[in-house]
Structure 1
């Protein structure tokens, strides 16, 4: 007898957590643990260190850029990513459209956090 319904494909079962995400979280916690005790993270961030952008890249973050200027650049980069993602969403269909929309939403939230930090540092009354 011929089967009318093909066998279900054997897709690997995912536990919902990505090893890459776990590693990124672990690295972030390690970096946070390295800051001096008794000092808030906001007060300890003064300027950038020089690091390469990506693996084997020709580009690098310059050392010594103050934190506010670096955050302004991050905000601009996120705004660009937001606009590009928005354009791509219009051309997507089905699952791709949902995934791209999720990306747009994540970028918008990241940019909102950066902008809130910048706005908060500008409008904060002096405690001197």
Structure 2
């Protein structure tokens, strides 16, 4: 059945903005604004606390690890996810291939952010 009346144009709020993401970004900006300017952010981060990987997991994040070491491990985990996703993409077809490629791209971007944080903390004057 063909619609006789077209849908109204999307408002700015409906064009892909997610209010939950906007709120999370606002909270992050507020926390960062409270950070003293003379202390590098990575040094101001507290050490990890022991946290289970999932609700019923036998494994957990070990407590007492500094932020730089934790970020190094995250970078390695993301690199592994990137390599596995690359292999799976070659075997996928159609929509699967596109979804996996999107996953690879997201993992690459996340790893680039982590690595940039680590590199930036090492090159501070």
| TM-score, normalised with respect to structure 1 | 0.69
Map 1:101-120 → 2, pairs under 5 A:
101-120=101-120
- CA root-mean-square deviation: 3.0
Q: Go from structure 1 to structure 2 and tell me whether the alpha carbon gap of 1:86 and 1:16 turns closer, same or farther (over 3 Å shift).
A: farther
Q: CA deviation at 1:47?
A: 1.3
Secondary structure of 2:82 counterpart: helix
Number of residue pairs the alignment of both structures matches: 107
Higher relative contact order (CA 8 A, sep 6+): 2
Q: For the structure 1 residues 61 and 16, does the alpha-carbon distance in structure 2 shift closer, same or farther, using more than 3 Å as the test?
A: farther
Q: For the pair shown, which has the larger CA radius of gyration, 1 or 2?
A: 1
Give 1:48-59 correspondences, 5 Å limit.
48-59=48-59
Change (3 A) 1:98 1:36: closer
Q: Which residue of 1 aligns with 2:78?
A: 78
| Structure 1 unmatched runs, 5+ | 1-14
1:13-34 CA-to-partner distances (Å, cap 9, x unmatched) read: xx998xxx94xx59957x859x
Please report the TM-score for the alignment, with normalisation by the length of structure 2: 0.70
Alignment-derived partner of residue 66 in structure 1: 66
